[in-house]
Amino acid sequence: MAFIAESELIINARGAVYHLDVRPEELATTVITVGDPFRVKEVSKHFDRIEVQREHREFVTHTGYIGNRRLSVVSTGIGPDNIDIVFNELDALVNIDFETRTIKPELTALNVVRMGTSGSLQAHIPVDSFVASTYGLGLDNLLNFYRLEQNTEEASLLQSFNTHTQLTFTQPYISGAAPSLLKNFVDGYHQGITVTCPGFYGPQGRVLRLGIRNPQLIDRLTEFRFGNHFISNFEMETSAIYGLGRLLGHHCLSLSAIVANRVAREFSKDGGALVERLIEKSLGILSNLPS
């Protein structure tokens, strides 16, 4: 068995993984991720009881129960670079023996559900609605550092996407949601491809004082079609979650509250209330899934 060096997996003095400051027994196998550290308590306030609360940098973790369902909620911060940290450490907590520093012979698959905000790219997906992402299509390059293989359909979809958008500065990748989770989030959720960007302003076509290289980006994303597939929204984490989750063998789903519609140029009048509705509705589904 290959030994994982101290420089590669950093475990602190209390036996917790470095960035999250969480020990293996403090993590549930159903994990909700949120970008905003302050949103962790907005999720865990719905728990019947909380047994673990940890905080280190922007990474806040609460673990507790809704009925008999044990859940953890973890803040990731914004962006795919933070997802790289969080997902590798979540996986280490369940699939690496911290005593021997070796990979466990029997691996555990986590259920990981992102609950975040996003901007719609379709007129029929209005502000104050919800999206369950069928795929995450990354413009961020994170998964190009890993060995993510695209299947035939994914490769054809990406080829069509590249031809349509004419993006020359990135190598897009794509990965799908876990069907075992996605099938439960149909009623009250739009579904479509979510594009993940490496930034909020220029990478998402926003212009303040700086000119951008692709001023037609929004239009090209909105117009893209491949069979029944279309791009529903974009944000900054989904493709990294889906790609790393796929490689590590976890079941992942991204749920978005639509706070902006970039086609109609509208923004939610009460984003906080919208996110609260997403949390309540999605927790109700998650807590009742078969174990």
Q: What is the pLDDT of residues 185-226, one digit of tens each?
A: 999 999 999 999 999 999 999 999 999 998 999 999 999 999
If one compares 290 and 287, the residue with the highest pLDDT of the two is: 287
In DSSP terms, which residues pair with 116 in a beta bridge? Answer: 256
Residue range 83-106: average pLDDT? 98
Residue 169, pLDDT score: 82
pLDDT recorded at residue 168: 84
DSSP secondary structure string, 182-208?
HTT--TT-EEEEEEE-S-SSGGGT--S
Tokens of 79: 């962006």
The predicted structure's pLDDT at residue 260: 98
Binned at pLDDT 50, 70 and 90, residue 229 comes out as very high
Confidence label for 46 from pLDDT (cuts 50, 70 and 90): very high
The pLDDT value recorded for residue 98 is: 98
Label residue 218 exposed, middle or buried (CB < 10 Å: 0-12, 13-18, 19+). Answer: middle
Give the model's pLDDT for residue 290.
84
Q: For residue 124, name the pLDDT band (cuts at 50, 70, 90).
A: very high
Look at residue 1 and tell me whether its pLDDT is greater than 80: no
pLDDT tens-place string over residues 125-181:
999 999 999 999 999 999 999 999 999 999 999 999 999 999 888 899 999 999 999
Residue 231 has pLDDT above 90, yes or no: yes
- Topology (CATH level 3) of domain 11-287: Rossmann fold (3.40.50)
Read off the pLDDT band of 291 (50, 70, 90).
confident
pTM above 0.85, yes or no: yes
Q: By the 8 A CB rule, do 18 and 54 touch? A: no
Average pLDDT, the chain: 97
Residue 87 reports pLDDT greater than 80: yes
Q: How far apart are CA 196 and CA 85, in angstroms?
A: 17
Place of tokens 């009250």: 188
What mean pLDDT is predicted for residues 53-76?
A: 97
Q: Rounded to 10 degrees, what is the CA torsion of 256, 258, 259, 263?
A: 140
